[in-house]
Amino acid sequence: MIERLKKKIDSITQELIEWRRDFHRHPEVAFEEHRTSSVIRKFLEGLSLPVSSSARTGLKGVLEGKSEGKTVALRADMDALPLKEEGEKEYISLNPEASHACAHDGHMAILMGVAKLLSEEKDSFRGRVIFLFQPSEERIPGGAKMMIEEGALKGVQAIFGLHLWQPLPTGSVGIVKGAMMAQPDVFTVKIKGKGGHGSMPHQTVDPILVASHLVINAQSIVSRNIDPLKPGVVSFGTIHGGTIDNIIPNEVSLTGTVRSFHPSVQSLAQKRLKELVEGTAKAFGASSEFAYTCGYPPLINDEKMVEFVKGVTRKTLGKERLVTIDPVMGGEDFSYYLREVPGAFLFFGAGDGMEFPHHHPGFDFDERALPQAVLLMSSLALEFLSRP
C-alpha cells in the first residue's frame, strides 16, 4: 500500500506545488477566505465529495469508504496574516495587505492532495474521512470552535493535523506527548496623559514616557513573579502614539500577548499586568485602560495518539525522521478539537535552505516537504481506519 501511495503522490507533486503557490499569490485573512474557499470547494466537488460550509468561510468535505467503519478527521487552516510580503519569489503575494507567512497555503495543498489520493483509494478502506478546511486560525476566537459548534466533529473518533515547521529539517516529524503548544492570550493597554509642546514637557503628562516604563516594568512578570520552572511569555507587539516629532500626544496605545501552559501562570500574568498598568500610569500622573482576552486553550496531544503517529511515521517515512522537540509557546486553536476527540498535532519539517522564520515578511518553506506530508497524513487516516 505504501509503495502504491508513493507512486501516486509522485504523479501529483507538481500539482501540490501549483496549488500551494496559487494560494500564496492570493492570501486572505481570517474569515475573509472567500476566494480560497471557492477554489477548495470546486476541487472537492470535482472529486465527487459532498461539501458543506462551516464557520462562515470554512468547508467540510466527506469521503466514504467501501463500507461502514470508523470516522477520522484531518484539518488544514486557511487564513493568511495581515502582513505585507517582502522578497522576489515568483509567487509573491498579490495582496499588499496579506501574506501566507505561516505556511497555511501549504497546509491546504497537503489536505487537497490527501483528499485526491484517498478518493482514488476509497474502495480499499472501510469508514469515513472528514476533511476540515478551517478559517481564522491566526485570530481569536478562531474558526475551530465555530466548526465544532456547527457539527464538524459529529461521529469523529480521531483527528490529526500538522504544521509545516521551518525550524525543523525538511521531512522530519516533531511531536510532543501532552502539552505541546501554549495558550495565546491578548491584552490591550491605553495610557492617557496630557499632551503639549515637545519643548515644554513639564506642562504635560507624557504618555510615551509612561508606556516606555510599562514595557520595561512588565518584563519583571516573567523574571520575578512566575515560577522559573513553569514557562511563560509576556511580549508587546504594537505601540502607537503621536503624530509629529514636536508634539507630546494625549495618549498611547499598546497591545501584546501572554503565553502559558499552566492556569496559575496565566492568572498571575493577567493580575500582575493589570497592576503594573495601573501603577505605572498612576506614578506619572496618567490614567489607563486595560483589557485582557483569553486565547485558545493549550494544545494537549493524546498520548496514545502520539504513539500512533510515531508508529505510522516510522512505517512510512523511516524512524530517522522522528526528532525530539520541546513544547513551543506558539498557540493553535487545533486545541479545541483535541478537547472533544482523541487526536494529535505534529510539526512537519520544511526548513532546509530557508532563511526567515514564521511570521516574517520574507517567510517561505521548502516545498519538497509537501509530498512527504501528503504521504504521512494519508497513511495516518488509512492506518487508523484499518485498526480494530
- Cα dihedral 160→163→168→172 (10° resolution): 30
Which three cell numbers, joined as nine digits, stand for 196?
503639549
DSSP, collapsed to helix, strand or coil, labels residue 288 as: strand
Which amino acid is residue 3, in one-letter code? Answer: E
Chain center to CA of 329: 12
From 28, 137, 185, 333, active-site residue: 137
209 touches 284 (CB < 8 A): yes
CA dist., res. 146 & res. 34, Å (int) = 17
Query: Cell 503557490 identifies what position?
Result: 21
Q: What angle do CA 380, 72, 79 make, to 5 degrees?
A: 85
123 counts as catalytic: no
CA dist., res. 47 & res. 16, Å (int) = 16
Instruction: Give the list of residues 6+ apart from residue 91 with CB closer than 8 angstroms, or none.
Output: 21, 24, 25
Query: For 121, how many CA atoms within 13 A lie in the half-sphere containing its CB?
Result: 25
**Does the bond joining 141 to the residue before it have cis omega, within 30 degrees of 0?**
yes
Neighbours of 126 (CB within 10 A): 13
The size of the chain, in residues, is 388
15 counts as catalytic: no
From 28, 33, 79, 251, active-site residue: 79
Catalytic residue positions, numbered: 79, 137
